């Protein structure tokens, strides 16, 4: 399961999320959505680099990002 889930259908491509990601794991320019924007998307195959810091979600003005973290095995 991915750590960062972006609701790409509602994204307006403001790029706030990408601008704050400390590891630059979010890109802009996905396939045009129904609103007419090229949405943000999580860089493929870089899941392992995400620390689930959730800065992207905090910054998204349309609150379209959900962030998950793997629970540590006890």
Partner 1 sequence: MKQVFKRPETLIKTTTHFCPGCHHGTVHRLVAEAIDRLGVREDTIGVAGVGCGVFLYDYLAVDVCEAPHGRAPAVATGIKRVNPEKIVFTYQGDGDLASIGMSEVVHTANRGENITVIFVNNSVYGMTGGQMAPTTLLGQQTTTSPRGRDFHYDGYPIRMAEMLATLEGVAFAARVAVDKPANLRKAKQAVNTAFEMQAKNMGFTFVELLSACPTNWYMTPLAALRRIEEEMIPYYPLGIFRQRKAADYL
Tokens matching residue 42: 């999580």
Q: CA-CA distances (angstroms) from residue 66 to 9, 18, 44, 45, 59? A: 14, 14, 17, 18, 12
Looking at 6, 71, 73, 74, which residue binds partner 1 (CB under 8 A)? 71
Q: Which two three-digit tokens encode residue 4?
A: 């960062």
Residue 32 lies near partner 1 (rule: CB under 8 A): no
Rounded to a whole number of angstroms, the minimum distance from the CB of residue 44 to partner 1 is 19
* Contacting positions for partner 1 (CB under 8 A): 1, 3, 10, 12-16, 19-20, 35, 37, 52, 54-55, 57-63, 65-71
């Amino acid at each position: 399961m991915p750590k960062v889930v972006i609701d790409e259908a509602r994204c307006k491509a403001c790029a706030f999320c990408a601008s704050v990601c400390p590891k630059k794991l979010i890109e802009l320019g996905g396939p045009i959505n129904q609103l007419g924007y090229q949405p943000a998307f999580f860089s493929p195959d870089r899941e392992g680099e995400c620390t689930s810091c959730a800065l992207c979600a905090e910054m998204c003005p349309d609150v379209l990002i959900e962030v998950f973290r793997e629970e540590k095995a006890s």
